[in-house]
Structure 1
Amino acid sequence: MNTINKIILFLFAIVVMSCQSGKIEKENNLLSVSILPQKYFIERIAGDDFKVNVLIPPGASPATYEPTPMQMTGVAKSIAYLRIGHIPFEHAWLSNLIEGAGEIKVVDLSKGIELVKGMAVKHGDHFHEGGIDPHVWSSPLSVKIIAKNTFETLVAYAPEKKGEYEKNYNAFLVELEELDRMALEAFQAKQGKSFMIFHPALSYLARDYGLNQISVELDGKEPSPTHMKHLVEEAKSKGINQIFVQKQFNVENAKAIMAEIGGEVIQIDPLSEDWLSEMKRIINILKD
């Protein structure tokens, strides 16, 4: 653990001890989550019935972000932490976040999803937990399961609202079904199509709809000159003329590759709070 992490944990301990001396009070409608799409899913089902403490803010990476003392205090006041599943942020911080949170339920929203697994995947100075690709929210099929888990959690905390939440949940499922059909139609004739992306954030979309995701990152690091050369050759051989880059990552290496083949760099944001609109945009770009 680096010095900054230690300082943050020390400050958090002071805050928690201060709260506990006066009996920390839970906010009975406060939920903590890891990423912005989870806030979107909660609000599609429960409207504004719950306040949502999002730990990873817009533009930050789930691989490197460190929570602030204020966010940690928000977790301590929450009745539940809805984890997205297996992102590095949760692997590194969740146990510390809930340690001082008193009675707090932790719900794994990825429960029931067929996870993409492989060898341990290294990203910079951390590993994806258990070799699991963590980007479960990148596919409509996975999000159907996430939505179901979210719905059941919300009903458990507000059983009197079950009818209302079920209506909203079913309406959201209809939109997810439409997104699924959109993807099936878009990629039906493109099975095996390759696309290039800086960070492998669309693994589940690729898996579920027969696409081949090529990551510019190598072992979680920016590519070496040798790997850059290989990527250029691979892009040319597969007719790839664009690279996706998440807004949380540097675009310079992607630009260098595209300069060699005369293509374009396209910025995407699967971590957008407006998850549905961004996924439609990504699918529309990929189908061309």
Structure 2
Amino acid sequence: MNNGVYSFPVFTLTDEDSVYDALEMMKTNFIKRVVIVKKKKPIGIVTELDLNQFLENDSTSRTLDQIQLKEIMKKNVITVRNDLDDHLTQCATRMDTFKIGSIVVVDDFGDLAGITTETDISRHYARMFPGKFRVRDYMTDKIVTCRDSDSLHYALDIINKNQISRLIVTDNNGNPKGTITTNDFLRYSQYFKRSLSKVHDELSQLSSEKNKVGEFIRYEILTVEPDDDLATAAELMVNNNVSGIPVIVIKNNKISGIITKSDIVRAFSQVITHGKLLEKYRTFH
């Protein structure tokens, strides 16, 4: 069973492939994760966040093509079988429980069959539950920001410490100017570490400490309001290929929170459960 609830084929590598291979695969195909396989079976996963943490923390002199994925991949792969009738709910529940952005789908033999991501859940939420919740019901009040004058290294450190995929970038007065994402850091990985051992390092003048966030941010910023339909926010994120949108109070142009695909996943996992509980309550009363 698929019915559009998971994606296939999946971008895969082996644990003997390099960090450089994963980095290039993500940048070329605009994806956030690569499944690590051995004889068709998933044995690990590498995400944008894993690569960004590595870029910040690795202090060795090795280049990215000299480091195998077995050193950085997550080995505890969360999976579901491809024959579940409630596939989306099962995936959303696992994502919310384990705080992850995807679920690997396997067949009866444990072979890789596909992958369901937060984007898949968000797309189906937008179609299935318009008018069910408002943005304010699920948005996160904690706003993690950096200034456009901060260094790239400082911004990456904030992203890694908070386990998030994007930062809202403000000016010195706290006004939103744009965003910088985990994908942006992958695209500018040369500011942190050399990629290829065979290439002479010509980037010594480039530095994640010297270069400022304002040089790299995306100035086009999507926003929603607290009373907007959550399904509208989900659709905006899917259509614009972003994982989070600032929630702005229009009357004063101040950020009151952020809504992310993770919040949409949480809503999806709860809306079905709440519906079943309500139906059960009605049955007994």
Structure with more relative contact order (C-alpha pairs < 8 Å, separation 6 or more):
2
* More strand, by proportion: 2
TM-score normalized by structure 2? 0.29
Please identify which structure carries the higher helix content: 1
Question: With structure 1 as the length reference, what TM-score do the two structures score?
Answer: 0.29
